[in-house]
């Protein structure tokens, strides 16, 4: 068994906070990052480089990233919507950049005012900018296929379109591809089928990641289906905080605490201490008293005799 069998990326500071009504102070964000990293979460998406007038929560993106870059053992990630955002992120010292490209044409126009083809062209320019960095300090660029499993504006999204966009992003220079269930439309059979198709198209050695929302209660089931399809990198949010402000009906993400518990109870090592993670949840959401939180393991507690994955025989 490897040191870590799956990598879980906490995206609550970005995907979660973008929907909250109240601004979380920079100091509280930094405390969240430090505490969750100490619990064993070594990849955290800490902010988004978007105009503050659109999402005021990220007016302090540069400050938050600067702090995250000082946390030992942590790989901070950031989200960027376009080339300008990518430029800002690189100037601020970003080491892992996620650029979402909507497979749904309707969502793409609603989100970034570009067609999917135009967004892919923009991604290619981002990739060129990233690759112009010195090799030793080059950031990693992730192409995220948003609305890969359906869209609350357009409806059904053809699987062939998802494969086509994933291939285009790889050819444009992506270091990894993520398939995102932005509005929580996916089901486990669909997840396994689509990941199999994308992996077959772009090659088994290329990194594939998964981002699920729990809008209809299938988040964990979908994560398990993706795991069985060979995926080993997953996004989630503490307390299930989150949703897409530009996708009507999108509610919270898969709950980080529950996702860690599922894998650890299966004997799959996440490297994350669940007890510490639950304590982080308590501390973090004292700063967000009006946030709607989800999750089962934080309320029910760990089963008697529970042993984390690494301790299993």
The CA distance from 275 to 195, in Å, is: 32
Tokens standing for residue 69: 């870059």
Average pLDDT over residues 121-145: 93
Domain ranges of the chain: 7-311
Q: For 215-243, what is each residue's pLDDT tens digit?
A: 888 999 999 999 999 999 999 999 998 76
Rounded to the nearest integer, the mean pLDDT of the chain is 92
86 has a pLDDT exceeding 60: yes
The CA distance from 182 to 169, in Å, is: 18
Cα-Cα-Cα-Cα dihedral of 164, 166, 172, 175, to 10°?
A: -160
The CA distance from 144 to 177, in Å, is: 6
Q: Which CATH architecture has domain 7-311?
A: Alpha-Beta Barrel (3.20)
Contact 208, 198 (CB under 8 A): yes
71 has a pLDDT exceeding 60: yes
User: Nearest to residue 244, comparing CAs of 121, 112, 122?
Assistant: 112
Predicted local confidence at residue 245, as pLDDT: 55
Q: For 176-198, what is each residue's pLDDT tens digit?
A: 999 999 989 999 999 999 999 99
What confidence tier does 252 reach under pLDDT thresholds 50, 70, 90?
confident
145 is catalytic: no
251 has a pLDDT exceeding 70: no
The CA distance from 105 to 117, in Å, is: 9
Which member of 145, 151, 199, 244 is catalytic? 244
Average pLDDT over residues 245-259: 75
The CA distance from 124 to 143, in Å, is: 10
Contact 33, 74 (CB under 8 A): yes
Q: How far is CA 179 from the centre of its chain?
A: 10
267 has a pLDDT exceeding 90: yes
């Amino acid at each position: 068994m490897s040191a870590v069998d799956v990598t879980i990326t906490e995206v609550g500071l970005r995907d979660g906070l973008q929907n909250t009504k109240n601004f979380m102070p920079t100091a509280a964000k930094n405390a969240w990052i430090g505490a969750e990293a100490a619990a064993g979460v070594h990849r955290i998406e800490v902010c988004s480089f978007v105009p503050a007038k659109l999402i005021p929560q990220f007016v302090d993106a540069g400050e938050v990233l600067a702090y995250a870059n000082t946390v030992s053992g942590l790989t901070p990630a950031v989200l960027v919507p376009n080339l300008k955002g990518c430029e800002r992120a690189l100037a601020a010292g970003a080491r892992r950049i996620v650029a979402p490209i909507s497979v749904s044409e309707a969502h793409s126009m609603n989100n970034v005012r570009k067609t999917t083809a135009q967004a892919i062209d923009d991604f290619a320019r981002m990739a060129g900018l990233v690759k112009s960095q010195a090799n030793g300090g080059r950031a990693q660029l992730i192409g995220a296929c948003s609305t890969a499993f359906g869209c609350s504006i357009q409806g059904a999204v053809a699987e062939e379109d998802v494969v086509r966009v994933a291939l285009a992003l790889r050819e444009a220079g992506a270091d990894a591809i993520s398939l995102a269930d932005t509005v929580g439309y996916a089901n486990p059979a669909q997840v396994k089928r689509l990941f199999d198709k994308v992996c077959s198209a772009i090659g088994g050695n290329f990194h594939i990641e998964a981002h699920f929302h729990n809008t209809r209660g299938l988040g964990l089931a979908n994560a398990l289906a993706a795991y069985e399809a060979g995926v080993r990198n997953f996004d989630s949010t503490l307390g299930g905080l989150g949703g897409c402000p530009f996708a009507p009906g999108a509610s919270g993400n898969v709950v980080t605490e529950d996702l860690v518990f599922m894998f650890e109870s299966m004997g799959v090592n996440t490297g994350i201490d669940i007890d510490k993670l639950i304590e982080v949840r308590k501390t973090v959401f004292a700063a967000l008293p009006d946030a709607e939180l989800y999750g089962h393991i934080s309320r029910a507690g760990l089963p008697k005799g529970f042993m984390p994955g690494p301790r299993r025989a």
